[in-house]
Amino acid sequence: MPPTLFGFRACLAAALAIVFVAGCKTTPPPDPNDPSQVGMVQPDVLMRNLRWASEALNQRVAKGEIPDARAQIMLSEYAADLTKHIELSRITEDLAWEYAEVFRTARQWENARIVFEIALRNPKGEDRRVNDTLRYAQVLAQLDRVRDALSTARRVFDAAPKDRAPLIPSLIFELTPAARGKGYDVELAELIQDAIPLYEATVVDPTSEAGKSFLRAKPYLLREARKLIAELLAGVNLRQNG
């Protein structure tokens, strides 16, 4: 959710485990610049810093202090500073997805691509495979490899019903902005259309908080997906007939 959004859409995506689903904490986390840190900073430290920054910026947006767009830029700048503590040559498969998230948030797409590919060699469970594959697809689209991005996203269409929650939020909020207008809008619309019945069949525990969040967000996300499909196809028709 892969990866960072603000505002109402962001809350829905976060509820569906796109990115940063921690509780709200305003106490600053450990400083990665602390001289007590030896060698490359561990990803859990970097992720805690990103969560704290994201939550703090979301609070400022909610209070009307800054607009969403400015908050996104500020978070990307903060993440870019954190990437100074990452050495690509030392990243291992088990920790790669967290480092990839830092690069993705920093909009350092080529480094994010490299690290997501490391993470996807041996994903830590089906949840990681689905989420990291969708985020990898977004990164490929940002690098203008849209055809590869769309085929990559389709790889997770085989996910079990219980693992499909990220599908629609990721496709409409992360992949589409990266891929739209780059010559594959029809294929992008088809991808979203094909994902809708899979997402509709997602199985959740309706008594859990995550399940309740999913069920609350589901009607809105489906409306947004169908609206987006129509917009993509209308745009293609306009360009062809214009």
Q: How far is CA 26 from CA 8, 53, 188, in A?
A: 20, 9, 38
pLDDT tens-digit series, residues 63-92:
999 999 999 999 999 999 999 889 999 999
Neighbours of 233 (CB within 10 A): 16
106, 84 contact by CB (below 8 A)? no
What pLDDT, on a 0 to 100 scale, did the predictor assign at position 59?
A: 92
Q: Which of the four pLDDT bands, split at 50, 70 and 90, describes residue 242?
A: low
Instruction: Tell me how far apart the alpha carbons of residues 1 and 18 are, in angstroms, rounded to a whole number.
Output: 3
Q: Return the minimum-mean-pLDDT range out of 26-35, 129-138, 227-236.
A: 26-35
Q: Could you tell me the domains of the chain?
A: 7-241 (1.25.40)
Provide mean pLDDT across the span 55-61. Answer: 92
One-character DSSP codes across the chain: ------HHHHHHHHHTTSS--PPP--S----TT-TT--SSPPHHHHHHHHHHHHHHHHHHHHTTSS-HHHHHHHHHHHHHHHGGG--GGG--TTTHHHHHHHHHHTT-HHHHHHHHHHHTTS-SSHHHHHHHHHHHHHHHHHTT-HHHHHHHHHGGGGS-GGG-TTHHHHIIIIIHHHHTTSS-HHHHHHHHHHHHHHHHT----TTSHHHHHHHHHHHHHHHHHHHHHHHHHHHHHHHHH-
The structure tokens 């977004």 sit at 138
Q: Which of the four pLDDT bands, split at 50, 70 and 90, describes residue 237?
A: confident
Q: Which of the four pLDDT bands, split at 50, 70 and 90, describes residue 241?
A: confident
Kindly tell me if the per-residue pLDDT of 33 is higher than 70: no
Q: Which of the four pLDDT bands, split at 50, 70 and 90, describes residue 23?
A: very low
Provide mean pLDDT across the span 29-47. Answer: 64
Provide mean pLDDT across the span 30-42. Answer: 56
pLDDT tens-digit series, residues 180-229:
999 999 999 999 999 999 999 999 999 999 999 999 999 999 999 999 99
Provide mean pLDDT across the span 155-160. Answer: 98
Instruction: Tell me how far apart the alpha carbons of residues 191 and 200 are, in angstroms, rounded to a whole number.
Output: 15
**Average model confidence (pLDDT) for the chain?**
86
pLDDT tens-digit series, residues 91-150:
999 899 999 999 999 999 999 999 999 999 999 899 999 999 999 999 999 999 999 999
- Number of residues that this document lists for the chain: 242
What pLDDT, on a 0 to 100 scale, did the predictor assign at position 85?
A: 83
Which pair of structure tokens corresponds to residue 14?
A: 């976060």
The structure tokens 């939020």 sit at 169
